[in-house]
Amino acid sequence: MPSSKKKKETVPLASMAGLIRYYEEENEKIKISPKLLIIISVIMVAGVIVASILIPPP
């Protein structure tokens, strides 16, 4: 084989010894910044704590 030609090798899923490739498409995912996620989490935790103080269980 000449070294100038490069072949793309595609391996069928059956011959990958049980490994499966998951192709991730970033166009379909919801992107949330880590800072916003932490802020939302802290607000939710604070809301649960305040609700448990204001509305005691029966």
SS3 labels along 5-18: CCCCCCCCHHHCCC
pTM of the model: 0.49
Question: Would you call 47 helix, strand, or coil by DSSP?
Answer: helix
**Cα–Cα–Cα angle for 27, 14, 12, nearest 5°?**
60
Along the chain (58 residues), what's the average pLDDT of each consecutive run of 10 residues?
56 60 66 94 97 88
pLDDT of res. 35: 97
Q: What does the angle CA 20 – CA 24 – CA 29 come to, to the nearest 5 degrees?
A: 145
